[in-house]
Amino acid sequence: MWNEHVHERRDPSVGRIYPDGMHGAIAEGLRRELGERVSVSCATLEEPEHGLTAEALAATDVLTWWGHAAHDRVADAVVERVHARVLDGMGLLVLHSGHFSKIFKRLMGTTCALRWRSDPGGEREVIWTVNPGHPIAAGVPQPIVIPHQEMYGEYFDIPPPDELVFISSFAGGEVFRSGCCYRRGAGRVMYFSPGDQEFPVYHQPQVQRVIANAVAWCGEGATGNDLPSSRDGSSKRHWYLEGA
Amino acid sequence: MWNEHVHERRDPSVGRIYPDGMHGAIAEGLRRELGERVSVSCATLEEPEHGLTAEALAATDVLTWWGHAAHDRVADAVVERVHARVLDGMGLLVLHSGHFSKIFKRLMGTTCALRWRSDPGGEREVIWTVNPGHPIAAGVPQPIVIPHQEMYGEYFDIPPPDELVFISSFAGGEVFRSGCCYRRGAGRVMYFSPGDQEFPVYHQPQVQRVIANAVAWCGEGATGNDLPSSRDGSSKRHWYLEGA
Amino acid sequence: MWNEHVHERRDPSVGRIYPDGMHGAIAEGLRRELGERVSVSCATLEEPEHGLTAEALAATDVLTWWGHAAHDRVADAVVERVHARVLDGMGLLVLHSGHFSKIFKRLMGTTCALRWRSDPGGEREVIWTVNPGHPIAAGVPQPIVIPHQEMYGEYFDIPPPDELVFISSFAGGEVFRSGCCYRRGAGRVMYFSPGDQEFPVYHQPQVQRVIANAVAWCGEGATGNDLPSSRDGSSKRHWYLEGA
Amino acid sequence: MWNEHVHERRDPSVGRIYPDGMHGAIAEGLRRELGERVSVSCATLEEPEHGLTAEALAATDVLTWWGHAAHDRVADAVVERVHARVLDGMGLLVLHSGHFSKIFKRLMGTTCALRWRSDPGGEREVIWTVNPGHPIAAGVPQPIVIPHQEMYGEYFDIPPPDELVFISSFAGGEVFRSGCCYRRGAGRVMYFSPGDQEFPVYHQPQVQRVIANAVAWCGEGATGNDLPSSRDGSSKRHWYLEGA
């Protein structure tokens, strides 16, 4: 679980909502929903190599990512390391303003820009499941209503999702593809937009349920298959079918 | 252009909005937007074979479909004929309540059920483009606002669209995948949900523009390629690569 | 597990390869790969209602389907019952010549026709994983080589798969999308083409592994979400967001 | 039309096949197939800014890209410029060994690695259409046979294509997704693998037909819609629906 962990310490309004950091609230939900299936560790921007050393990543099945104020302070070398690890099979769950993180833009190949509106007090977001057989939607009410949230609206400049799970509406009339799944190499990537530092979204049990489902889904990517991986991506693989 | 043409003659409220039938309003928009690129004919339920004879279909590049009150009165043999013609390359544009037509359910393989709410006066629908490079979105404002419309909401039980072009929100907070593209055999199918007999949606120029774009897109399906077509679908094709 | 069970009893060449029926070989592989995770029952064409009563289907998480010589003898009412159950969340794994079964054509909405060539002795099929992070490819070698197999080739008239997992080549130079995943309603559908009554394909452990993976994947569809299901598909759902 | 134009001048075997450069053969095919619909210009690595100035790109509807020996010598600033122009609506057709170009990897977000085998004399490639209604397949024979070609095989580490048009087999038994379409921002990207400097593939009329179709398809991306584009990607768009 990665969090830049800037807002919680800098902005009193955020610190009151998330005294243990947003990662604290998210971790609490994961432990409740997934129990012993999951072992949670947290890393933040200020740690050496942002806590994302080669050893740490090798031991990680799924990485969650929250960033906003400090995208530019994430080192490019760390981004490349995370990128290679995703293609090798690690899951990545990108949350909310993480849509503008270096790692998400690197994986998507697009600007990942969107429309937004941030009014004091926020506005109602309603999250609809459009893929009811998807495991990320399991046990999720139709719809989830978030009373106070920042608006994120279309056009969201991402590749067409391989699987679209959720679409949100906002009180202002906007819509947003709020739950998007991608397969990249042997890894899985999900983007889930609800969640903001100014509102207690990550304390809402229904949102925690989606995040737990998403972590479980993202973790099913690695299969140990023989593929031209990012590790040898610098040279193409010269290959013969035995006996062909 | 196919219209069951029941509401306009039966319900005075509909006849006042569409004195020439809904197909009249749609045809007017097509002629304005596409000019000499298109030649429009109309067929209705009451004609022999509903106006959809083998000859008529063979001469048709794109068929638009509006039905609501009389889905069950469309003959199965005609549905099978239209189905075969779509797989052979004819485009099909299904409008609004046509989601429950026999032909659309036949092509989708699902129930095509949805949530709905029909209040007198309707409610605001806002249509967002989520695929800005798609030709069906060309020249379409972001968003289109329809002041009065019946609500159609998720979950909409369709296969995941091959290309999702529009998503709508409604005043009640619902969302809907309102512009969905499919490729089936050599043919193209689009579903576009805006449009209702009780509101003048098909007179709105922006909606007419989308319909014209959709007709143009649906018409690009037939390529004359050699494929196991619906015509010989009853037997598999026994085949050798020459000289293999 | 459904098998029409005609060839094994009628054709001595098939009976020698599959003395317990093709379903016997498939079941053996499932038990070895999935162990206590799975409880296997078999049903055949000759049983009342083909063994697919409402009770049997309600108790089934995943149905596998093998048919060839007797597609037309499967009752339409049973097909509709299986179809409804799939949309309600049951998984369906369609094997080999099942591509022309009523239930697969019903779900796909296309002809499901393909090219084919059946020489005595068959020819080499090589199966390649093109989606290495997909659970159906887990632990599967790259490639699987089947020494003797009937050729199935493109164009295969199916909707573009929601997830394409395998592509095969044949000695004659043909290719085939041999592992195709679909989501329909709350259910999951997979088509896997290898397997033929004249060759011992279903005894090959690598093929059994794919089938076990596919059964596990197909079984994850049902989530109990509130969706307009096939059960009430005959009427649209009139609906209000509480407090909207 | 961009070509690094290294092999043709350095390797006599290539110079004999393509005395006017590979871009010469490709341009000839475009002019024959598209006639006055197209105006062709060529740019190469050695020109200032590789011939891809902001002015040149602004005047370009579709860019074709061939590179192999000198991917690393393409300046990063030029890659970013081309990337931004694609998201703004320019089409990009990436050919053969261009799969490892900076611009293709930038747009895909994956390694784009693949299996390969390059024997003197090459081997037979057979190209199959799996999307017969796609305009890129219009008028293309089923299959195209290329007598001598370098093998490119799966796993090809790309995002699942938005539209898969062609799959190839090789004499060695491999398969390859040889025609892949993507939508990125307002632009369209196609990858087409046939073509190699050592074989006269770009002189083959059927290959020229595919390339002409692909150029036409890629050119339909720009619609002038209002989207958060790469031009203002550095800041999110603060936005209100008028009167909301």
Segment C60-84 mean pLDDT: 96
Whether residue B1 has pLDDT greater than 70: yes
Tens of pLDDT along A147-176? Answer: 999 999 999 999 999 999 999 999 999 999
Minimum distance, in Å, between the CA of residue C214 and any CA atom of chain B: 20
Tens of pLDDT along C91-130? Answer: 999 999 999 999 999 999 999 999 998 888 889 999 999 9
The span from the CA of D1 to the CA of D28, in Å, is 12
Task: pLDDT band for B231, please (50, 70, 90 cuts).
Answer: very low
**Which sign does the torsion angle of CA D122, D128, D129, D130 carry?**
negative
Query: Number of B:D CB contacts under 8 A?
Result: 76
Segment D106-129 mean pLDDT: 93
pLDDT at A182: 97
Tens of pLDDT along B196-218? Answer: 888 999 999 999 999 999 999 99
**Measured at the alpha carbon of residue D81, what is the angle toward residues D215 and D187, in degrees to the nearest 5?**
35
pLDDT at C58: 95
- E-strand ranges in chain D read 2-3, 43-44, 62-66, 91-95, 115-117, 123-129, 144-149, 151-153, 163-170, 175-184, 187-192, 237-238
Name the amino acid, one letter, at A83.
Answer: H
pLDDT at C239: 54
Q: Which residues of C touch B80 (CB under 8 A)?
A: none
- Terminal alpha carbon distance of chain A: 46
Whether residue A234 has pLDDT greater than 60: no
Residue D105, burial from CB neighbour count under 10 angstroms (0-12, 13-18, 19+): buried
Task: pLDDT band for D235, please (50, 70, 90 cuts).
Answer: very low
Q: Which residues of B touch A169 (CB under 8 A)?
A: 169-170, 173-175
Whether residue B59 has pLDDT greater than 80: yes
Tens of pLDDT along A39-49? Answer: 999 999 999 99
Whole-structure pTM value: 0.94
Least CB-CB distance to B225: which of D129, D187, D226?
D129
Above pLDDT 70, what percent of chain A? 90
Least CB-CB distance to A223: which of C137, C143, C187?
C137
Average pLDDT, chain B: 90
Above pLDDT 70, what percent of chain B? 90
Cα Rg of chain A (Å, integer): 18
pLDDT at B118: 80
pLDDT at B170: 96
Q: Which of B129, B130, B164 to mutate to test the interface with A (most CBs of A within 10 A)?
A: B130
Task: pLDDT band for C191, please (50, 70, 90 cuts).
Answer: very high
Least CB-CB distance to D174: which of C129, C164, C169?
C169
Segment B8-26 mean pLDDT: 93
Query: Number of A:C CB contacts under 8 A?
Result: 75
Q: Search chain D and give the residue with CA nearest C129.
A: D155
Segment C145-161 mean pLDDT: 95
This complex has an ipTM of 0.92
Q: Which residues of A touch C241 (CB under 8 A)?
A: 126, 143, 145
Token representation of residue C226: 């509130």
Tens of pLDDT along B183-200? Answer: 999 899 999 999 988 899
Whether residue D238 has pLDDT greater than 80: no
Task: pLDDT band for D68, please (50, 70, 90 cuts).
Answer: very high
pLDDT at C201: 94
Tens of pLDDT along A72-84? Answer: 999 999 999 999 9
pLDDT at D120: 82
Whether residue C226 has pLDDT greater than 70: no
Above pLDDT 90, what percent of chain A? 83
Q: Search chain D and give the residue with CA nearest A106.
A: D109
Yes or no, beta carbons of D132 and C155 under 8 Å apart? yes
Name the pairing type of β-strands C144-149 and B151-153.
Answer: unpaired
pLDDT at A196: 86
Token representation of residue B172: 């009640």
Please check whether residue D107 is in contact with residue D86, taking contact to mean a CB–CB distance below 8 angstroms.
yes
Minimum distance, in Å, between the CA of residue C33 and any CA atom of chain B: 31
Average pLDDT, chain C: 90
Among candidate residues C22, C90, C30, C27, the one with its CA nearest the CA of residue C54: C90
Yes or no, beta carbons of D154 and C124 under 8 Å apart? no
Average pLDDT, chain D: 90
Among candidate residues B12, B100, B7, the one with its CA nearest the CA of residue B45: B7
Segment C41-56 mean pLDDT: 96
Tens of pLDDT along A175-232? Answer: 999 999 999 998 999 999 999 888 999 999 999 999 999 999 999 876 545 554 433 4
pLDDT at A222: 61
Chain A: list its partners (3+ Cβ pairs within 8 Å). B, C, D
Above pLDDT 70, what percent of chain C? 90
pLDDT at C120: 82
The span from the CA of A72 to the CA of A46, in Å, is 13
Whether residue C29 has pLDDT greater than 60: yes
Above pLDDT 90, what percent of chain B? 84
Task: pLDDT band for C244, please (50, 70, 90 cuts).
Answer: very low
Yes or no, beta carbons of C132 and A227 under 8 Å apart? yes
Yes or no, beta carbons of A138 and C225 under 8 Å apart? yes
Q: Search chain C and give the residue with CA nearest D130.
A: C155
Tens of pLDDT along D146-202? Answer: 999 999 999 999 999 999 999 999 999 999 999 999 999 989 999 999 998 889 999
The span from the CA of C63 to the CA of C57, in Å, is 8
Whether residue B147 has pLDDT greater than 70: yes
Task: pLDDT band for C241, please (50, 70, 90 cuts).
Answer: low
Task: pLDDT band for A239, please (50, 70, 90 cuts).
Answer: low
